[in-house]
Each structure stands twice: as C-alpha cells, then as structure tokens.
Amino acid sequence: MNVTTLHASRLRPVLWLLGLAALASISPRLQAGDDALYGPEAPPGSAFVRIFNATPASITGGSIGGEPVETLDQYEASSYTFLPAGEHSISTGAESVTESLEAGRYYTATLDSGGLSLHALETPEDDLKALVVFYNLTGNDALQLKTADGSATIAEASGGDFATREVNPLRVSMAVYAGDQMLADTDPVNLARGRAFSLFVTPGRGQPRLTWVID
C-alpha cells in the first residue's frame, strides 16, 4: 500500500497563513519571509483543486487554472491549488478539462486510462469525525470499502465515481470488496478527527492497487 501524506487540515491544503493581517501591519519584511515559508492564504470564496495520477507513468506539464503542477509520479496526488470560483482549466499535459468551480468546494481531478475526470466534494461540517473518501477508479461497476473482516460497510462506489463516510476516530484495517469477495486489504490506519482519508482504488496485477492520500 502506498501512503502519501499531504500536510493539510481537513481538506484544506497548507497554503494558509495564521495571522497574516497582523503581520502585515507589523513588518512587510516579516510578512514576506512568512509568505515564503508558508505560502499565501486562500481568500474567501476560493475553490480547491488537486490532481491524482492514477496511471503507471509520471505526469509532467500539468497545470491547474494556469498554475503549473509539480511532476507527479505514478499513483501520486498533487497539493491543492486554490482558485477563485468560476471557470478554470485543469490539465495533465495531454489531457485537460474546463469546469466551472464553486466556492468552498474541493475538487480532485483523476487521470487514468479513461482520461481526466473531475470529482467535486463538499467540506464536511463535523470536525469531531474523520472523513473517508473512497474512489473507485477501476472497471468494476460496484466496489465496497469495508472493515477488513467484512462485517461493516464504510462506503460503496460505482466505477469512476466516489463515495464518502464520516466515521468516529479509531485505528482500523479496511478492505475492498466486490460483493462478498475481498479483493485487497489495507494496513491499519489511524482515522483522526478533523482529517480526510482518501483511498484511491486503481487496477493492479492480480488485485486492485490501493493508495491512501491523507489530508
């Protein structure tokens, strides 16, 4: 299992700066230094977009709203980029989509053998729970994310779609099922309150490939 940790709180990337306005009134030089360290703060009304590379090859030349995206290795997610609400283009170099983005929503563009797709997620309101996001990027029409023993279903997603579930914080092992058949399982993961845990399921050799991205 691959685990990629993005340093973010909830679904919000670490592109925000605490106390930016106060620092600006104290020292422009101090503000400039902190901007370089933390990055700019997302203004109110922003939309947030990232790209997940669900292919076995690296992506170069990608962009989000005209902003370049770092090279993405296979099965890797980019950091979130914030944009003003409105129409923007998301590109992976060879593939691109143009969508009207809504303020306060989080978007994941996934590139797989079928092309580039955009998935929109609203921010959950319960900070006392963990959010599990289950992306089915396989050719299977229906997959379920369950506890490893199959006793409880966490989420179910059709092919090319995703599903979410807010759960209590706990340490748990999970598995991907097609009906009663377990296809692949995960190592134990510590589901922490106020954070999002995205599990991307992609085709693999003999069994699906599972990739966690933790926000």
What tens digit of pLDDT does each residue of 180-198 get?
A: 999 999 999 999 999 999 9
Torsion, Cα of 193, 11, 114, 210 (10° steps): -30
Instruction: Name beta bridge partners: 46.
Output: 84
**Strand-strand pairing, 153-158 and 67-68:** unpaired
Cβ contact 215:10 at 8 Å: yes
Res. 125 pLDDT band, cuts 50 70 90: confident
Going by C-alpha positions, the residue among 107, 136, 102 that lies closest to residue 119 is 107
Tell me what the mean pLDDT of segment 117-140 comes to: 90
- pTM equals 0.81
The rounded mean pLDDT for the chain is: 84
Find residue 202's DSSP bridge partners.
209
| DSSP-assigned letters across all residues of 21-81 | HHHHHH-HHHHHHHHHHH-PPPPTTEEEEEEEE-SSS-B-S-EETTEE---B-TT-BPPPE
203-214 pLDDT, tens digit per residue, is 998 899 999 999
